[in-house]
């Protein structure tokens, strides 16, 4: 396609809201059945065990009801039979942006990915619909034995490592959407960091949905061996389509003894995306897993990152920020499962509801009776901007035995019209006033983020607030 | 044409009740006018209408600032056009530091794409805080959060100094201030008196006017200006209370 034709076909609204014409070499068609799975497995040339794993997962998915009895009834509006489960251009991920197809390359350039890579990243994977288009890691890291590839390649090139942990942190049947992902997963990252290797700069994955009626089901597995450290960052966007789009990822983390994983998500989905993601990590002895999860946008997000603290002195942390604007529902939280003595968990959740936006916090902290010296701190703060907003908190803290220290705090505050008026009287626009309040509310959390991401988050909040005042 | 903040036959209601009932008043640039009046007479209401608070519905009359229709502008446009209100009850903005707030307000006055000079900004802010006897720790604290009444009022004056308005309305800036703080604040305001700026100083007590000496004093009663005079009018009100004004108004009604 010529450059001019490409540009002309692009629909532009705001940042992230643009798409390129659909031209796919592989398209599994509409709807989900065993044939869909065969199609995906054939395109990928997968081993039989993976094909079987997928087919078993499909049965689990079909047998599980939508969890509308406790979650949003809006889940019933997902029409699984209308979704396209696999779309790719048949590209192999390249290590050079020059070899990436033009429209895909332009997409990521507009999202600023190559620039960020040059500035501060140790590696980048860029996924366009179902498959990665670009994947690169700094040569030094490769020499140290660090693996950073997409899941298709990970399964093919490193089956022994992959298989050992795949589906072990999050079993297929964990919930309906983890089963769906297990049936049709494609893309996502596979990372292995060998013992003692400390990756100083973040590895970044970027997930982009381009096609309408599409479901993106990336599968990420990160294994950080003894005493090793990594920070992984994911970003996601999609254009604003008329119809609903489904994003349903599964992310499994394994931190071996004394390892550290920091997993950062800054996502900015458009208003029609159902974002139903299962994320969990296992922390072995004295290991640390930290989820930093920023959810902006989407029609419905359901996401409760978890840490199973399996080894003594393991630490788990979830720091989350959710922003629910008009027509959005952020149903987020954290799961902390203490499974060894002297394990420590910390949950800090801040939600912002604007207009008709709705935020829900669901937490689970589990400390069984036979353990000693476990600690949990849970803090959930909600900010309401205008009286129609809604916020709910469902903290489930099951702590048995009396040899533990737990602490729980919750607060709800309002940005009143008079506060906005006061700020406007000083010359700030309504959107700027709201942004300033929201940034003020999340400030103490954001200070803990790596610089680049706090800047990114602030920019997204500004954009979202601009959109909310019309 | 002489420049002024001109309020002409202003009428306004809140929730259906008429509170401002045909109020006229002109503050020429370069002058300081005081409004005095008993509690509940409509002083803060007038101030908030001038700033554009949406609780109040203007049902008649006009307000112009140097000839421009003030009532037509959005709240933030009025501010950027040079209108400032020091609130009787300044609001708290949790999580937003005083310095960041001021910086955002200053940034909002720059053309799109132009960045504020942070070094110059801080230098200026510190100098003005020194003038007002404000400790540096206030830059990092959230706007007005946990401030004493007097600290909030000083902070309003700091904001006014940093935003350099053409017209400033001070709504009971004296309340909550002890005499030393009152002197500091008055000094700050007096330093800003200039042929390029007009002030409307709202107060319940005459005390403030010993330190900020007004050119003209208006008495607001029941939504109207019922008397206008020089600074001696304030002294008379202080000595005799508001009853004689009320009596005069009732007698003439
Ligand atoms: N938002 C409001 N809603 C209802 N009544 C109001 C509101 N604001 C002011 N009023 C009423 O208007 C009158 C004037 O109040 P105000 O302007 O605050 O007086 P002052 O500042 O002179 O003491 C009072 O009777 C007050 O109760
Ligand atoms: Mg008042």
Closest Cα of chain A to B159: distance in Å?
8
Among all bound ligands, the one having the nearest atom to the CA of B87 is 2
B101 close contact with A: CB closer than 8 A: yes
Contact B54 CB / ligand 1 (< 6 Å): no
Closest Cα of chain A to B237: distance in Å?
32
Mutate to test the interface with B, among A426, A431, A437, A466 (most CBs of B within 10 A): A426
Structure tokens belonging to residue A39: 């199609």
pLDDT tier at A384, thresholds 50, 70, 90: very high
- Contact at CB, A429 and B54, closer than 8 angstroms: no
pLDDT digits (tens, 9 = 90+) for A267-279: 888 888 999 999 9
* CA-CA-CA-CA torsion sign (A451, A457, A461, A462): positive
Domain boundary residue among A303, A332, A354? A303
pLDDT digits (tens, 9 = 90+) for A80-134: 999 999 999 887 888 888 888 888 888 888 888 888 888 888 888 888 888 888 8
Same-domain check for residues A299 and A424: no
Residue percentage of chain A with pLDDT more than 90: 60
As a whole number of angstroms, the distance between CA A120 and CA A111 comes to: 15
Q: Residue A7: is its pLDDT beyond 50?
A: no
As a whole number of angstroms, the distance between CA A109 and CA A99 comes to: 14
Contacts A–B by Cβ distance under 8 A: 73
Instruction: Calculate how far, in angstroms, residue B45's C-alpha sits from the geometric centre of ligand 1.
Output: 6
> In this predicted structure, what is the pLDDT of residue A100?
87
Number of H helices, E strands in chain B: 9, 12
Residue percentage of chain B with pLDDT more than 70: 99
**Residue A422 with chain B: CB contacts under 8 Å:** 87, 90-91, 93
Positions of E strands within A138-259 = 147-150, 189-193, 203-208, 215-216, 219-224, 229-237, 245-247, 250-255
- Contact at CB, B108 and A424, closer than 8 angstroms: no
- Nearest-by-Cβ selection for B91 from A413, A419, A443: A419
- Contact at CB, A423 and B100, closer than 8 angstroms: no
Per-position DSSP letters for A412-468, written without gaps between them: EEEE-HHHHHHHHHTT--HHHHHHHHHHHHHHHHHTTS-HHHHHHHHHHHHHHHHHH
Positions of E strands within A270-326 = 273-283, 288-297, 300-303, 306-309, 315-324
Closest atom of ligand 1 relative to the B47 alpha carbon: 17
Q: Which residue has the higher pLDDT, A215 or A392?
A: A215
As a whole number of angstroms, the distance between CA A224 and CA A157 comes to: 18
As a whole number of angstroms, the distance between CA A445 and CA A438 comes to: 12
> In this predicted structure, what is the pLDDT of residue B78?
98
pLDDT digits (tens, 9 = 90+) for B154-175: 999 999 999 999 999 999 999 8
Contact B69 CB / ligand 1 (< 6 Å): no
Which of B10, B15, B43, B45 to probe ligand 1 with, by most ligand atoms within 8 A of CB?
Answer: B45
Let me know if residue A20 belongs to a domain: yes
Say if strands B56-65 and B4-14 run parallel, antiparallel, or are unpaired.
antiparallel
What mean pLDDT value characterizes chain B? Answer: 94
**Residue A442 with chain B: CB contacts under 8 Å:** 95
Return the residue whose CA atom lies nearest to atom 24 of ligand 1. B40
**Among candidates A188, A161, A159, which has minimal Cα distance to A250?**
A188
Same-domain check for residues A299 and A423: no
> In this predicted structure, what is the pLDDT of residue A470?
57
Contact B79 CB / ligand 1 (< 6 Å): no
Say if strands A375-385 and A250-255 run parallel, antiparallel, or are unpaired.
unpaired
> In this predicted structure, what is the pLDDT of residue A1?
35
pLDDT digits (tens, 9 = 90+) for A26-82: 888 899 999 999 999 999 999 999 999 999 999 999 999 999 888 889 999 999 999
SS3 B137: helix
Instruction: Calculate how far, in angstroms, residue B165's C-alpha sits from the geometric centre of ligand 2.
Output: 21
**Among candidates B211, B227, B210, which has minimal Cα distance to B219?**
B227
Beta bridge partners of B17: B14
Structure tokens belonging to residue A40: 């995906």
Same-domain check for residues A43 and A183: yes
Same-domain check for residues A155 and A284: yes
Contact B223 CB / ligand 1 (< 6 Å): no
Beta bridge partners of A376: A345, A406
Positions of E strands within A312-404 = 315-324, 329-338, 344-354, 358-367, 375-385, 390-399
What mean pLDDT value characterizes chain A? Answer: 89
* CA-CA-CA-CA torsion sign (B30, B189, B128, B52): negative
Nearest CA in chain B to A413: B94
Domain boundary residue among A284, A303, A322? A303
As a whole number of angstroms, the distance between CA B184 and CA B189 comes to: 9
- DSSP secondary structure letter of residue A369: T
Nearest CA in chain B to A424: B76
- Contact at CB, B76 and A424, closer than 8 angstroms: yes
pLDDT digits (tens, 9 = 90+) for A337-379: 999 999 999 999 999 999 889 999 999 999 999 999 999 999 9
Domain hosting A423: range is 419-470
Average the pLDDT over each of A101-115, A249-263, A408-422, B206-220 and give the range with the smallest value.
A101-115
SS3 A88: strand
SS3 B41: coil
> In this predicted structure, what is the pLDDT of residue A330?
94
Same-domain check for residues A296 and A433: no
Residue percentage of chain A with pLDDT more than 70: 96
Helix axes B149-163, B118-131, angle to 10 degrees: 130
* CA-CA-CA-CA torsion sign (A266, A272, A273, A275): positive
Domains of chain B (ranges, CATH numbers): 4-93+148-252 (3.40.50.300)
B167 close contact with A: CB closer than 8 A: no
Positions of E strands within A115-166 = 123-128, 131-137, 147-150
Say if strands A315-324 and A344-354 run parallel, antiparallel, or are unpaired.
parallel
Let me know if residue A310 belongs to a domain: no
- DSSP secondary structure letter of residue B162: H
> In this predicted structure, what is the pLDDT of residue A393?
78
Residue with tokens 């700091």: B158
Mutate to test the interface with A, among B77, B97, B108 (most CBs of A within 10 A): B108
**Among candidates A65, A45, A24, which has minimal Cα distance to A180?**
A65
SS3 A208: strand
pLDDT digits (tens, 9 = 90+) for B71-123: 999 999 999 999 999 999 999 999 999 999 999 999 999 998 899 999 999 99
Structure tokens belonging to residue A371: 């353990």
Domain boundary residue among A303, A321, A339? A303
Nearest CA in chain B to A438: B95
Nearest CA in chain B to A427: B76
Closest atom of ligand 1 relative to the B88 alpha carbon: 21
Let me know if residue A447 belongs to a domain: yes
Q: What are phi and psi of B241, to 5 degrees?
A: 75, -175
- Contact at CB, A428 and B108, closer than 8 angstroms: yes
Contact B43 CB / ligand 1 (< 6 Å): yes
As a whole number of angstroms, the distance between CA B241 and CA A17 comes to: 65
B91 close contact with A: CB closer than 8 A: yes
pLDDT digits (tens, 9 = 90+) for A270-326: 888 999 999 999 999 999 999 999 999 899 999 999 999 999 999 999 999 999 988
- Nearest-by-Cβ selection for B79 from A426, A436, A443: A426
Same-domain check for residues A290 and A439: no
Closest Cα of chain B to A449: distance in Å?
17
Average the pLDDT over each of A389-393, A406-410, A460-464, B23-27 and give the range with the smallest value.
A389-393
Return the residue whose CA atom lies nearest to atom 18 of ligand 1. B44
A413 close contact with B: CB closer than 8 A: yes
> In this predicted structure, what is the pLDDT of residue A9?
42
**Residue B76 with chain A: CB contacts under 8 Å:** 424-425, 427-430
Q: Residue B215: is its pLDDT beyond 60?
A: yes
The number of folded domains in chain A is 2
Contact B38 CB / ligand 1 (< 6 Å): no
Calculate mean pLDDT across residues A327-333. Answer: 93
- Contact at CB, A439 and B104, closer than 8 angstroms: no
Which of B12, B14, B15, B242 to probe ligand 1 with, by most ligand atoms within 8 A of CB?
Answer: B14
Q: Residue A184: is its pLDDT beyond 70?
A: yes
pLDDT digits (tens, 9 = 90+) for A396-454: 777 787 788 888 888 888 899 999 999 999 999 999 999 999 999 998 888 888 777 88
Let me know if residue A362 belongs to a domain: no
Closest atom of ligand 1 relative to the B171 alpha carbon: 21
> In this predicted structure, what is the pLDDT of residue A388?
66
Let me know if residue A325 belongs to a domain: no
Let me know if residue A376 belongs to a domain: no
A462 close contact with B: CB closer than 8 A: no
**Residue A432 with chain B: CB contacts under 8 Å:** 104, 108
**Residue A381 with chain B: CB contacts under 8 Å:** none
ipTM score over 0.90, yes or no: yes
Let me know if residue A329 belongs to a domain: no
- DSSP secondary structure letter of residue A87: E
**Among candidates A296, A445, A439, A352, which has minimal Cα distance to B103?**
A439
Q: Residue B40: is its pLDDT beyond 60?
A: yes
Which of B13, B42, B58, B171 to probe ligand 1 with, by most ligand atoms within 8 A of CB?
Answer: B42
Let me know if residue A330 belongs to a domain: no
């Amino acid at each position: 396609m010529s450059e001019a034709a490409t540009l002309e076909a692009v629909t532009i609204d705001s940042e992230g809201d643009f798409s390129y014409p659909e031209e796919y070499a592989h398209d599994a068609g509409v709807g989900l059945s065993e044939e869909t799975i065969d199609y995906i497995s054939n395109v990928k040339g997968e081993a039989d065990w993976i094909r079987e794993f997928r087919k078993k997962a499909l049965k689990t998915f079909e047998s599980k009801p939508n969890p509308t009895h406790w979650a949003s009834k809006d889940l019933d509006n997902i029409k699984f039979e209308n979704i396209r489960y696999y779309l790719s251009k048949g590209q192999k991920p390249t290590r050079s942006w020059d070899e990436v197809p033009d429209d895909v390359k332009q997409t990521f350039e507009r999202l600023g990915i190559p620039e960020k890579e040059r500035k501060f990243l140790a590696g980048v994977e860029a996924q366009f619909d179902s498959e990665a288009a670009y994947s690169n890691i700094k040569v030094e890291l490769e020499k140290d034995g660090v693996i950073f590839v997409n899941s298709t390649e990970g399964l093919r090139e490193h089956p022994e490592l992959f298989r050992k942990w795949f589906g072990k942190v999050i079993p297929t049947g964990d919930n309906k959407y983890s089963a769906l992902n297990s049936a049709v997963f494609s893309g996502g990252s596979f990372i292995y960091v060998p013992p003692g290797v400390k990756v100083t700069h973040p590895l970044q994955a970027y997930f982009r949905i381009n096609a309408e009626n599409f479901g993106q089901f990336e599968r990420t597995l990160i294994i950080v061996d003894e005493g090793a450290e990594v920070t992984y960052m994911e970003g996601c966007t999609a254009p604003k389509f008329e119809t609903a789009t489904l994003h349903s990822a599964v992310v499994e983390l394994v931190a071996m003894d004394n390892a550290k994983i920091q997993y950062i998500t800054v996502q900015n989905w458009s208003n029609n995306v159902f974002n139903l993601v299962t994320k969990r990590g296992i922390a072995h002895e004295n290991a640390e897993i930290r989820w930093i999860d920023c959810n902006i946008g989407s029609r419905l997000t359901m996401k409760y990152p978890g840490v199973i603290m399996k080894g003594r002195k393991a630490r788990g942390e979830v720091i989350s920020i959710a922003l629910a604007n008009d027509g959005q529902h952020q149903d987020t939280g954290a799961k902390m499962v203490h499974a060894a003595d002297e394990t420590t968990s910390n949950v800090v959740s801040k939600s912002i509801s604007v207009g008709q936006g709705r935020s829900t916090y669901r937490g689970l902290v589990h400390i069984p009776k036979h353990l000693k010296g476990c600690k949990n701190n849970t803090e959930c703060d909600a900010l309401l901007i205008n009286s129609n907003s809604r916020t709910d908190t469902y903290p489930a803290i099951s702590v048995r035995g009396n040899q533990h220290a737990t602490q729980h705090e919750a607060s709800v505050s309002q940005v009143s019209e008079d506060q906005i008026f006061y700020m406007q009287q000083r010359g700030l626009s309504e959107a700027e006033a709201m942004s300033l309040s929201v940034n003020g509310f999340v400030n103490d959390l954001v200070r803990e983020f790596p610089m680049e991401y706090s800047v990114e988050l602030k920019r997204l909040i500004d954009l979202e607030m601009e959109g909310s005042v019309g | 044409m002489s420049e002024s903040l001109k309020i002409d036959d202003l009428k306004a209601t809140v929730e259906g009740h008429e509170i401002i009932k045909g109020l006229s008043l002109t503050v020429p640039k370069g002058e300081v006018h005081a409004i005095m009046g008993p509690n509940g007479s409509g002083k803060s209401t007038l101030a908030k209408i001038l700033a554009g608070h949406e609780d109040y519905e203007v049902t008649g009359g006009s307000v112009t600032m140097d000839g421009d229709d003030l009532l037509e502008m959005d709240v933030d446009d009025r501010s950027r056009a040079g209108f400032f209100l020091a609130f009787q009850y300044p609001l708290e903005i949790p999580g937003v530091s005083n310095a960041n707030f001021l910086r955002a307000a200053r940034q909002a006055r720059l053309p799109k794409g132009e960045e504020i000079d942070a070094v110059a900004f801080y230098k200026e802010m510190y100098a003005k805080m020194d003038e007002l006897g404000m400790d540096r720790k206030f830059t990092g604290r959230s706007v007005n959060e946990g401030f004493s009444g007097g600290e909030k009022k000083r902070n309003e004056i700091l904001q006014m100094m940093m935003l350099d308005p053409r017209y400033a309305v001070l709504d009971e800036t004296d309340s909550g201030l002890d005499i030393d703080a009152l002197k500091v604040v008055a000094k700050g305001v007096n330093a800003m008196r200039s042929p390029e700026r007009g002030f409307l100083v709202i107060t319940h007590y005459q005390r403030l006017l010993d330190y900020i000496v007004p050119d003209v004093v208006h008495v607001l009663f029941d939504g109207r200006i019922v008397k206008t005079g020089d600074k001696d009018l304030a002294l008379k009100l202080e000595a005799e209370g508001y009853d004689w004004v009320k009596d005069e108004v009732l007698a003439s009604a």
